[in-house]
Amino acid sequence: MARSKTSLIAAGVALASGGLADAADLPPAPRLPAPEPVAEEFGGWYLCGDVGVGINATSVDLQDDPDPIATGISSGFLSSQANQAYNNTTLSPFGLIDVGAGYQFNSWLRADGTLEYRSGANLQSLYTLTDPASPGFGGPAQFADFYRADVSSFIGLVDGNVNLGSYWGMSPFVGAGVGFADNRVSGFTDQGIAASSFFESTAGGYFSNASKTSFAWALMAGLDFDINPDLRLEMGYRYLNYGSVETGGSHCLAGASGGAFSAQNCRGGVSNHLSSRNTLASNDFRIGLIWLMGAPPPPPAPIVARY
């Protein structure tokens, strides 16, 4: 009996030794695959700012109020054959700067509000009035005025932007905005001359500074570039419709010869003002920065199983 127990124990030890040897020969435990990164729908506040240039996209169609021809005919100074025109009216480019704040709702939608100042634009136009039978002169007469003024604007917009995807750290977007534009005309001067078959005189004056507030809207597109998780560089184009411009009242100055005649040349001594008949638009090219406040941290390193 004792011999049988001894044999069983010996057999068990042999089997156990063989099992341990086989376990030592097993391959190492496999590593778990790294989990796929999960895109986080980040939402949060951001600050933004841009600089750029605005190039006029429409002609400036100027008009007088009151109409100088109607005033001249009613006063007996002009005939019904008189005609007028604004020639070579131009508005030079603006320089612009804006700042704003917004909210990133998710990875594809954001909205912001911006305040913008535009300046440096120069308005010029040559006004001519011709009357082949002016009662004031007893015959043909012609008037010419060279206008020059500075134009600036203060613009507030609420914008919505849609991200069209992300490609190699670059994100194209499109957007639209609505708001207001306060357009200011300043330093408006008038250098004029009047001539007929028997008389010629210089004349002129100036217009008071004035501003006009109008509805504004914009369409935009561009590219965002990731600098780091908190900062983006933005380059974009914007079409901006920013309303109309208007001067204050006119003030006549005596001419170089014939003060009374100069007063007639300056709208018969009646104060008037100029405005744009149409709304103005601009092609804007901008570059700026977006700072994400509290952007999400980078994803954690992949987990590796250890045995």
pLDDT, one tens digit per residue, over 145-174 is 899 999 999 999 999 999 998 888 889 999
- The pLDDT value recorded for residue 258 is 41
Fold of the CATH domain 42-292: Porin (2.40.160)
Give tens-digit pLDDT for 82-137. 999 999 999 999 999 999 999 999 889 999 999 999 999 999 999 999 999 988 77
Ranges of residues in the chain with a pLDDT under 50 are: 2, 8, 11, 13, 15-16, 20-21, 23-24, 36-39, 256-265
Domain map (residue ranges) of the chain: 42-292
Q: Tell me, what's the pLDDT at 169?
A: 82
Q: How far is CA 66 from CA 10, 70, 140, 191, in A?
A: 124, 8, 23, 19
- CA-to-CA distance for 72 and 269, rounded, in angstroms? 11
pLDDT value, residue 69: 87
Beta bridge partners of 113: 101, 158
Return the number of other C-beta atoms located less than 10 Å from residue 129's C-beta. 22
Q: What is the pTM of this model?
A: 0.77
Phi, psi of 95 (to 5 degrees): -100, 145
Contacts of 23 by beta carbon, 8 Å cutoff, 6+ apart: none
Distances (CA, A) of 238 to 95, 96, 115, 172, 173: 14, 12, 15, 14, 12
How deeply is 276 buried, as exposed, middle or buried, from its count of CB atoms within 10 A (0-12, 13-18, 19+)?
Answer: buried
| Contact between 292 and 230 (Cβ < 8 Å) | yes
